[in-house]
Structure 1
Amino acid sequence: MTLKAIILHGTVVIDAYLVSSLGEAALAAMGLAAAIAGFILGAILAFSNAMQIRTAQAFGTKNAVFLKSALVSGLTVSLVVGGVGLAVLAVFGGSLIGAMAPSAEVAEMAKGYLAVFSIVILGEAIGQCLSSYFNGCGRTRLPLYSFCLSLPINVFTSIVFIHGYLGLPAFGVTGAAMGSALAICVQVGFLIYQLARVDGHLARIPGWRQVTFAKTLFRHISFSLPIAATFISATFAAHFCTLIYAKLSLNEFAAMTLIAPWIMVAGTIGMQWAQATGIIVAQLLGQNPSEHVLDRFLSSAWRGAFVAASIVAVIYLIICVSATYLYTDLSIETRAILFGFLPILLVLPFPKQSNAICGNTLRASGDTIYVMHIFVWSQWLFRVPATALAVMYFDVPAFWVLSILFFEEVIKFPLFHRRLFQGAWKRAEVAS
């Protein structure tokens, strides 16, 4: 799961690296377009994460009807969310880019990137859903293989389209989106083939979990909505903040655009450990184990979580120290800002990791509404307004803008840990 997620977010880093050779304006255009598309991708990923837990519960009960219901319901929801998102993007995307872009040149490049990236959004609606299904069933290698297959295609075709090699015209920023679109088509084709090969028999199993598909879909949405709302809120808050970052100076915005994908990629090590913990807890709860079994598992998972947080901090250290060599085409000021992020990046992984273990464990037990409240209110009552004030009113340096992420984790810390230590999650009956 970690390797797959690193490759997923690494694609964004690779695109940013390839586009960085075109200059700060091209990089800002891609960052702006990716932030807008991220609202839709975030919604798709949110429901996919909910489906991952639901599938894990079904897999733990060893009920084939339950498993088929989770798959079909999750896929239906994902396609509807992706379709609605694309419709909204078609109507309002151009106006939003025009309002947020720092110049007309950046706006035109962002619109071209976003038009092609719509194919990626549709592909992710299917691909993320199937990946979450395989993860919930414990077949975590299949999503990894799909990304290992698509990544080389993405890198090669993006280079060709961006710079116009092999006799093709140079598409610039749009070329990065074209490479991603071809790669997602290959990836989705692989996942559909593996689903038919491994679990094709589910199509022949009659019946649904709640008698009819309509009731089954409604039950799936009822379970998924608090989890999805949590992830949607997190993604929307992150991308809303990215739009606010566009009001920074060009060098600061370029630095934030570069460090954000690295935070996602390196942070994935800890986040996927926490999600894997939640999957296994959901599978165990489906088998009605003793509290001793759950305590023993969670204790070992928690120790591993802090090792993961240490690894993330070391990666951040390497990235910041190497900024001068990684981004030689950018200005000295932009690289200096990147290096200045180091102190806050060294401490951020530890409270974030511990909070993630708590949140995923509580979700696995069905305590989804409480987790949703912690995330939603900390984001929209603290992070977003604090970012807006810091950038648009007080004009603080980029370092302190990034530090808001750390202070948000500190606020969430006592709320998560108190709930987990109360122990009610160990007595949840997920099968019912």
Structure 2
Amino acid sequence: MKSENTTKVGKITLFALTWPIFIEILLHMLMGNADTLMLSQYDDNAVAAVGVANQIMSIIIVMFGFVATGTTILIAQNLGAKRHKDAEQISVVSIFANLAFGLLLSIALYLFGKQMLLLMNLPEELMSQSLVYLQVVGGFAFFQSLLMTVGAITKSYGFTKDAMYVTIGMNILNVFGNYVFIFGAFGVPVLGVTGVAISTVASRGIGVLVLFILLYKRIRGKLPWSYLLEKFPKEELKQLLKIGIPSAGEHLSYNGSQMVITYFIASMGTVALTTRVYTINLVMFAFLFSIAIGQGTQILIGYLIGDRKYKEAYQRCLNSLWIGIAVSTFLTIVIAFLREPLLMIFTDNSDIIQLGGILIILSILMEPGRAFNLIVINCLRAAGDVKYPVYIGIIVMWGVSVTVSYTAGIVFGLGLIGIWIAQILDEWIRGLLMLKRWKSRKWEQMSFISEKQPLK
């Protein structure tokens, strides 16, 4: 049986790639919202505690993402170039590389979780709950590293539905576990934040197992697991790092700047922290589609670049961008109209509802700018232009987002409103610079496949 039969390359469409990714990301967000909603019935402080811990976890997920991003792009480009053996070898190397990395970070989170939370300026009343959550979920962070890597491989081969089905199952398990541990169902002790952490880890562990089984069936057992025993995968690791490190640099810069901003917000008190968590949980639904279309477009552009179809790749990015802007803006407007009843699902605190409503209205200005970054940056990476987004990201995120957040939010006393104004400026400045870079077409000479022998 030929290797080509294990992939859908050549017959996959953007819609076919994107809608399962959309559902998958939606379910991931719902999992986070389920934790927040169910904890909000238990204690508002617990919501804030988990929110701060998850800010640290987001940094860790970015670290795992540098291998997953490299995996997605390299597999897509190799499949587009009909280099199926290379794609299979990269799959194996990426799984073991991210597993090793995940184990190291899991140990670090368990041992040094308290020090990390202290650096976040966490209020004393939140420390115990936040630390328990971080040590439990962070101690098993390697589950997340495997989920991201195996998911990236599966989606790059065109089987985006598999990741969606696994996420559906994980959500069901997570919500059930939350119900049992938060509300003491079936005579189980009420564990609060600890129970949410246990539920999260258990659902991820089962998800990893199922995803591996699906990958084995889809690739028909063709992945060369013994490849690592034959030689040290120097070339594959070099390629993964060449894409992944700059990509992770941009993400790390963003999440690092967000941690600093969270530090500013923490100085405003628990109400401000909780308002931010609830607002983000709602607004995330608006840019959900941009994330999905960005990931789907990244895979398609990888195929097109591997096949040297640069004109089609150029237009594919622009078409995806306009769709993403339109949908995310429309959804933000809908959320803004329903802001009060939506916020009341989480809390009855009038201060949180009023301030959160203002932030949601401001998000109408933010989301079109965010769409530029979520879609065009993925396109640049897929084409091999991985350094430019990092340079621009570091300059704008720290020079604009952090600086204006402090000035407007702390110095001028605008609080969270000042923080949101800074985020709007950051997204639009970076987004427009990314679009200008794409239109320059400098990425046409940066394909990772082009470093190999010319196609016959």
Could you state the TM-score of these two structures normalised by the residue count of structure 2?
0.87
Consecutive unaligned residues in structure 1, runs of 5 or more:
none
Distance 1:318 1:190, change over 3 A: farther
User: How many percent of aligned residue pairs carry the same amino acid?
Assistant: 18
* Post-superposition CA distance 1:272-312 (Å, at most 9, x none): 21221122111111111252x33443343233223322343
Equivalent residue in structure 2 for 1:77, among 79, 82, 97: 97
For residues 293 and 375 of structure 2, the distance between their equivalents in structure 1, rounded to whole angstroms, comes to: 8
Partner of 1:149: 169
Distance 1:431 1:352, change over 3 A: same
Equivalent residue in structure 2 for 1:136, among 150, 156, 172: 156
State the shift of 1:60 in Å.
1.2
Partner of 2:433: 415
For residues 371 and 94 of structure 1, the distance between their equivalents in structure 2, rounded to whole angstroms, comes to: 32
Distance 1:312 1:44, change over 3 A: farther
State the shift of 1:255 in Å.
0.3
Which has the higher mean CA deviation after the structures are superposed, 68-77 or 333-342? Answer: 68-77
State the shift of 1:405 in Å.
1.1
Partner of 2:388: 370
Partner of 2:365: 347
User: Could you tell me which amino acid in structure 1 is paired with residue 81 of structure 2?
Assistant: T
Equivalent residue in structure 2 for 1:298, among 305, 317, 324: 317
Which has the higher mean CA deviation after the structures are superposed, 342-351 or 310-319? Answer: 310-319
Secondary structure of the structure 1 residue equivalent to 2:308: coil
Partner of 1:24: 44
Equivalent residue in structure 2 for 1:326, among 323, 326, 345: 345
For residues 173 and 297 of structure 1, the distance between their equivalents in structure 2, rounded to whole angstroms, comes to: 44
Partner of 1:37: 57
Which has the higher mean CA deviation after the structures are superposed, 74-83 or 389-398? Answer: 389-398
Asked whether the 8 Å contact 1:46–1:232 carries over to 2, the reply is no
State the shift of 1:424 in Å.
2.7
State the shift of 1:158 in Å.
0.6
Asked whether the 8 Å contact 2:132–2:194 carries over to 1, the reply is yes
Partner of 2:28: 8
Secondary structure of the structure 2 residue equivalent to 1:341: helix
Asked whether the 8 Å contact 2:317–2:376 carries over to 1, the reply is no
User: Could you tell me which amino acid in structure 1 is paired with residue 306 of structure 2?
Assistant: G
Distance 1:43 1:265, change over 3 A: farther
1:337 aligns with 2:338: no
Asked whether the 8 Å contact 1:5–1:265 carries over to 2, the reply is no
For residues 146 and 318 of structure 1, the distance between their equivalents in structure 2, rounded to whole angstroms, comes to: 33
Partner of 1:64: 84
Asked whether the 8 Å contact 1:65–1:206 carries over to 2, the reply is no
Equivalent residue in structure 2 for 1:309, among 314, 328, 332: 328
* Post-superposition CA distance 1:197-229 (Å, at most 9, x none): 111433348869x98513322232123211122
For residues 285 and 301 of structure 1, the distance between their equivalents in structure 2, rounded to whole angstroms, comes to: 16
State the shift of 1:389 in Å.
3.9
User: Could you tell me which amino acid in structure 2 is paired with residue 339 of structure 1?
Assistant: G
For residues 423 and 267 of structure 1, the distance between their equivalents in structure 2, rounded to whole angstroms, comes to: 26
* Post-superposition CA distance 1:26-69 (Å, at most 9, x none): 22111122122222122113432232222211221222221122
Distance 1:105 1:290, change over 3 A: closer
User: Could you tell me which amino acid in structure 2 is paired with residue 306 of structure 1?
Assistant: I
CA RMSD of aligned residues (A): 2.4
Consecutive unaligned residues in structure 2, runs of 5 or more:
1-20, 451-456
Distance 1:431 1:89, change over 3 A: same
For residues 225 and 203 of structure 1, the distance between their equivalents in structure 2, rounded to whole angstroms, comes to: 25
For residues 389 and 296 of structure 1, the distance between their equivalents in structure 2, rounded to whole angstroms, comes to: 40
Asked whether the 8 Å contact 2:246–2:386 carries over to 1, the reply is yes
Partner of 2:201: 181
Distance 1:235 1:200, change over 3 A: farther
1:287 aligns with 2:307: yes
* Post-superposition CA distance 1:105-143 (Å, at most 9, x none): 311111122222135522111001111111222211110
Note the 1:387-398 alignment, pairs <5 A. Answer: 387-398=405-416
For residues 118 and 373 of structure 2, the distance between their equivalents in structure 1, rounded to whole angstroms, comes to: 37
Distance 1:65 1:315, change over 3 A: farther
For residues 27 and 350 of structure 2, the distance between their equivalents in structure 1, rounded to whole angstroms, comes to: 29
Equivalent residue in structure 2 for 1:192, among 191, 208, 212: 212
* Post-superposition CA distance 1:129-172 (Å, at most 9, x none): 11111122221111001001111110011111012111111001
For residues 335 and 191 of structure 1, the distance between their equivalents in structure 2, rounded to whole angstroms, comes to: 39
State the shift of 1:101 in Å.
5.7
State the shift of 1:324 in Å.
4.8
Distance 1:32 1:302, change over 3 A: closer
Q: How many residues align?
A: 429
